[in-house]
Amino acid sequence: MTNTPPSVEDRARALVMLMHALDKIMSGPQPDMILREEISTLAAAVVDTATPTFESDRQARYTVGWWHYFRCLALPDDHKKEDLDRAVELLTPFVSADQPTFPPEILTARAVELFHVHHRTGELAPLDEAIILFRAAVTGISAEQADFGTFLSNLGAALSARSEYTHDLATLEEAVDVLRRAVAATPTDHPNIGLLRTGATGSPEKPRKTARCDRPRTKGIGGARQRQRLDL
Protein backbone atom coordinates (compact mmCIF):
# COMPACT_ATOMS: atom_id res chain seq x y z
CA MET A 1 0.00 0.00 0.00
CA THR A 2 1.46 3.38 -1.01
CA ASN A 3 1.02 6.59 0.90
CA THR A 4 -1.09 9.17 -0.90
CA PRO A 5 0.62 12.57 -0.98
CA PRO A 6 -1.35 15.38 0.66
CA SER A 7 -3.63 17.35 -1.64
CA VAL A 8 -3.95 21.10 -1.98
CA GLU A 9 -7.25 20.79 -0.14
CA ASP A 10 -5.57 18.92 2.74
CA ARG A 11 -2.98 21.68 3.04
CA ALA A 12 -5.50 24.51 2.95
CA ARG A 13 -7.74 22.78 5.49
CA ALA A 14 -4.88 22.16 7.92
CA LEU A 15 -3.65 25.76 7.64
CA VAL A 16 -7.08 27.29 8.13
CA MET A 17 -7.83 25.10 11.14
CA LEU A 18 -4.51 25.94 12.86
CA MET A 19 -4.75 29.67 12.10
CA HIS A 20 -8.31 29.77 13.39
CA ALA A 21 -7.31 27.94 16.56
CA LEU A 22 -4.37 30.29 17.19
CA ASP A 23 -6.43 33.43 16.68
CA LYS A 24 -9.24 32.12 18.89
CA ILE A 25 -6.99 30.96 21.71
CA MET A 26 -4.68 33.98 21.82
CA SER A 27 -7.58 36.46 21.75
CA GLY A 28 -9.44 34.54 24.44
CA PRO A 29 -9.18 34.41 28.23
CA GLN A 30 -7.11 31.17 28.41
CA PRO A 31 -3.98 31.44 26.25
CA ASP A 32 -2.53 28.34 27.92
CA MET A 33 -4.99 26.32 25.83
CA ILE A 34 -2.29 26.57 23.15
CA LEU A 35 -0.55 23.72 24.99
CA ARG A 36 -3.40 21.26 24.44
CA GLU A 37 -2.67 18.10 22.51
CA GLU A 38 -5.28 18.83 19.84
CA ILE A 39 -3.50 22.07 18.91
CA SER A 40 -0.20 20.21 18.61
CA THR A 41 -2.01 17.74 16.35
CA LEU A 42 -3.18 20.61 14.12
CA ALA A 43 0.37 21.96 13.90
CA ALA A 44 1.67 18.51 12.99
CA ALA A 45 -0.96 18.31 10.23
CA VAL A 46 0.28 21.62 8.78
CA VAL A 47 3.83 20.24 8.72
CA ASP A 48 2.71 16.96 7.15
CA THR A 49 0.59 18.57 4.41
CA ALA A 50 3.03 21.36 3.50
CA THR A 51 3.65 21.60 -0.25
CA PRO A 52 6.02 20.58 -1.71
CA THR A 53 7.94 20.37 1.59
CA PHE A 54 7.68 22.14 4.92
CA GLU A 55 11.05 23.83 4.33
CA SER A 56 9.80 25.45 1.12
CA ASP A 57 6.20 26.19 2.14
CA ARG A 58 6.32 29.75 3.44
CA GLN A 59 2.75 29.90 4.72
CA ALA A 60 3.18 26.64 6.65
CA ARG A 61 6.47 27.81 8.20
CA TYR A 62 4.96 31.18 9.10
CA THR A 63 1.91 29.66 10.81
CA VAL A 64 3.84 26.96 12.66
CA GLY A 65 6.37 29.60 13.71
CA TRP A 66 3.61 31.56 15.45
CA TRP A 67 2.36 28.34 17.06
CA HIS A 68 5.80 27.83 18.59
CA TYR A 69 5.93 31.45 19.75
CA PHE A 70 2.51 31.29 21.41
CA ARG A 71 3.53 28.05 23.12
CA CYS A 72 6.53 29.95 24.45
CA LEU A 73 4.17 32.53 25.95
CA ALA A 74 2.25 29.85 27.81
CA LEU A 75 5.14 27.71 29.05
CA PRO A 76 7.00 28.28 32.34
CA ASP A 77 10.32 30.12 32.00
CA ASP A 78 12.47 27.01 32.33
CA HIS A 79 10.64 25.29 29.44
CA LYS A 80 10.58 28.11 26.87
CA LYS A 81 13.93 27.53 25.14
CA GLU A 82 12.97 24.92 22.53
CA ASP A 83 9.85 26.70 21.29
CA LEU A 84 11.51 30.14 21.31
CA ASP A 85 14.46 28.83 19.30
CA ARG A 86 12.13 27.22 16.77
CA ALA A 87 9.96 30.34 16.50
CA VAL A 88 13.04 32.46 15.83
CA GLU A 89 14.22 30.02 13.17
CA LEU A 90 10.87 29.90 11.37
CA LEU A 91 9.77 33.55 11.64
CA THR A 92 13.05 35.44 11.18
CA PRO A 93 13.03 35.11 7.34
CA PHE A 94 9.72 37.02 7.22
CA VAL A 95 11.04 40.08 9.05
CA SER A 96 11.94 43.25 7.14
CA ALA A 97 12.14 46.96 7.90
CA ASP A 98 8.70 47.54 6.39
CA GLN A 99 7.22 44.66 8.43
CA PRO A 100 8.44 45.42 12.00
CA THR A 101 5.37 43.78 13.55
CA PHE A 102 6.99 40.71 15.06
CA PRO A 103 7.90 40.03 18.71
CA PRO A 104 11.17 41.63 19.96
CA GLU A 105 13.09 38.35 19.97
CA ILE A 106 12.26 37.73 16.30
CA LEU A 107 13.07 41.32 15.29
CA THR A 108 16.39 41.12 17.11
CA ALA A 109 17.40 37.84 15.47
CA ARG A 110 16.87 39.33 12.01
CA ALA A 111 18.56 42.61 12.95
CA VAL A 112 21.65 40.76 14.17
CA GLU A 113 21.83 38.91 10.84
CA LEU A 114 21.64 42.22 8.96
CA PHE A 115 24.29 43.78 11.20
CA HIS A 116 26.68 40.98 10.33
CA VAL A 117 25.88 41.42 6.62
CA HIS A 118 26.96 45.06 6.97
CA HIS A 119 30.08 44.03 8.86
CA ARG A 120 30.96 41.51 6.16
CA THR A 121 30.15 43.62 3.08
CA GLY A 122 30.57 47.19 4.25
CA GLU A 123 27.19 48.10 2.77
CA LEU A 124 25.13 50.68 4.64
CA ALA A 125 21.63 49.50 3.67
CA PRO A 126 21.68 46.31 5.84
CA LEU A 127 22.84 48.37 8.82
CA ASP A 128 20.06 50.92 8.35
CA GLU A 129 17.51 48.10 8.20
CA ALA A 130 19.02 46.55 11.32
CA ILE A 131 18.66 49.86 13.17
CA ILE A 132 14.97 50.06 12.23
CA LEU A 133 14.42 46.54 13.59
CA PHE A 134 16.45 47.15 16.75
CA ARG A 135 14.34 50.26 17.41
CA ALA A 136 11.15 48.27 16.93
CA ALA A 137 12.44 45.59 19.31
CA VAL A 138 13.17 48.19 22.02
CA THR A 139 9.73 49.73 21.53
CA GLY A 140 8.04 46.33 21.73
CA ILE A 141 9.61 45.12 24.96
CA SER A 142 8.84 46.01 28.56
CA ALA A 143 11.45 48.09 30.36
CA GLU A 144 10.97 45.74 33.33
CA GLN A 145 12.19 42.70 31.41
CA ALA A 146 15.57 41.45 32.56
CA ASP A 147 17.15 41.67 29.10
CA PHE A 148 15.86 45.18 28.28
CA GLY A 149 19.40 46.51 28.62
CA THR A 150 20.59 44.01 26.02
CA PHE A 151 17.98 45.24 23.53
CA LEU A 152 19.13 48.82 24.16
CA SER A 153 22.81 47.90 23.81
CA ASN A 154 22.06 46.20 20.49
CA LEU A 155 20.54 49.44 19.19
CA GLY A 156 23.42 51.44 20.61
CA ALA A 157 25.99 49.20 18.96
CA ALA A 158 24.28 49.52 15.59
CA LEU A 159 24.02 53.30 15.91
CA SER A 160 27.68 53.47 16.92
CA ALA A 161 28.65 51.43 13.86
CA ARG A 162 26.64 53.79 11.66
CA SER A 163 28.27 56.87 13.17
CA GLU A 164 31.71 55.39 12.44
CA TYR A 165 30.68 54.67 8.86
CA THR A 166 29.02 58.03 8.14
CA HIS A 167 30.84 60.32 10.62
CA ASP A 168 27.42 61.71 11.53
CA LEU A 169 27.53 63.54 14.88
CA ALA A 170 23.80 63.24 15.58
CA THR A 171 23.97 59.45 15.20
CA LEU A 172 26.96 59.32 17.54
CA GLU A 173 25.13 61.39 20.14
CA GLU A 174 22.12 59.09 19.93
CA ALA A 175 24.36 56.02 20.26
CA VAL A 176 25.94 57.45 23.42
CA ASP A 177 22.53 58.25 24.90
CA VAL A 178 21.14 54.77 24.11
CA LEU A 179 24.21 53.05 25.57
CA ARG A 180 23.91 55.10 28.76
CA ARG A 181 20.32 53.93 29.06
CA ALA A 182 21.52 50.37 28.43
CA VAL A 183 23.96 50.62 31.35
CA ALA A 184 21.22 51.92 33.62
CA ALA A 185 18.87 49.09 32.57
CA THR A 186 21.43 46.27 32.82
CA PRO A 187 21.74 44.27 36.06
CA THR A 188 25.11 44.62 37.78
CA ASP A 189 25.77 40.89 37.45
CA HIS A 190 25.16 40.82 33.67
CA PRO A 191 28.22 39.47 31.77
CA ASN A 192 28.33 42.55 29.50
CA ILE A 193 28.01 45.24 32.16
CA GLY A 194 31.77 45.84 32.26
CA LEU A 195 31.95 46.48 28.52
CA LEU A 196 28.97 48.81 28.63
CA ARG A 197 30.41 50.85 31.48
CA THR A 198 33.65 51.40 29.59
CA GLY A 199 31.76 52.49 26.49
CA ALA A 200 32.69 49.40 24.47
CA THR A 201 29.77 48.32 22.31
CA GLY A 202 30.85 45.03 20.77
CA SER A 203 28.47 43.36 18.36
CA PRO A 204 24.71 43.06 18.82
CA GLU A 205 23.58 39.72 20.17
CA LYS A 206 20.51 37.59 19.72
CA PRO A 207 18.27 37.09 22.74
CA ARG A 208 19.66 34.69 25.29
CA LYS A 209 18.43 31.12 25.22
CA THR A 210 16.67 31.85 28.50
CA ALA A 211 14.93 34.97 27.14
CA ARG A 212 11.30 35.34 28.02
CA CYS A 213 8.67 35.58 25.32
CA ASP A 214 6.62 38.77 25.44
CA ARG A 215 3.04 38.84 24.23
CA PRO A 216 2.90 40.62 20.84
CA ARG A 217 0.93 43.84 20.55
CA THR A 218 -1.71 42.17 18.34
CA LYS A 219 -3.30 39.01 19.71
CA GLY A 220 -3.31 36.03 17.43
CA ILE A 221 -1.69 36.01 14.00
CA GLY A 222 -4.51 37.69 12.07
CA GLY A 223 -3.00 41.18 11.78
CA ALA A 224 0.49 39.99 10.96
CA ARG A 225 -0.88 37.41 8.54
CA GLN A 226 -2.81 40.07 6.64
CA ARG A 227 0.28 42.23 6.32
CA GLN A 228 2.31 39.30 5.02
CA ARG A 229 -0.30 38.56 2.32
CA LEU A 230 0.81 34.96 1.95
CA ASP A 231 -1.62 32.99 -0.15
CA LEU A 232 -3.01 29.63 0.88
Helices assigned H by DSSP within the chain: 8-26, 37-49, 58-74, 81-91, 104-121, 124-139, 148-166, 169-185, 193-197, 222-228
Nearest to 39 by CA among 73, 9, 14, 60: 14
pLDDT above 70: percentage of residues in the chain? 79
Average pLDDT, rounded, for the chain: 84
Nearest to 211 by CA among 77, 100, 107, 46: 77
13 and 106 belong to one structural domain: no
The arithmetic mean of pLDDT across residues 134-158, rounded, is 90
Which pLDDT tens digit goes with each residue over 41-67?
999 999 999 989 999 999 999 999 999
Which pLDDT tens digit goes with each residue over 84-142?
999 999 999 999 888 768 999 999 999 999 999 999 999 999 999 999 999 999 999 88
103 and 83 belong to one structural domain: no
Tell which wins on pLDDT, 59 or 193.
Answer: 59
Does 232 map to a domain?
A: no
Task: Count CA atoms within 13 Å of residue 184 on its CB side.
Answer: 7
Torsion of CA 106, 110, 113, 118, to 10 degrees: -140
pTM value surpassing 0.85: no
Range of the domain at 188: 95-219
Nearest to 212 by CA among 145, 112, 135, 144: 145
153 and 192 belong to one structural domain: yes
User: What local confidence, expressed as pLDDT, does residue 226 receive?
Assistant: 38
User: What local confidence, expressed as pLDDT, does residue 227 receive?
Assistant: 38
* Long-range contacts from 186-191, C-beta under 8 angstroms, 24+ separation: 186/149, 186/150, 186/153, 187/146, 187/149, 190/149, 190/150
The number of distinct structural domains making up the chain is 2
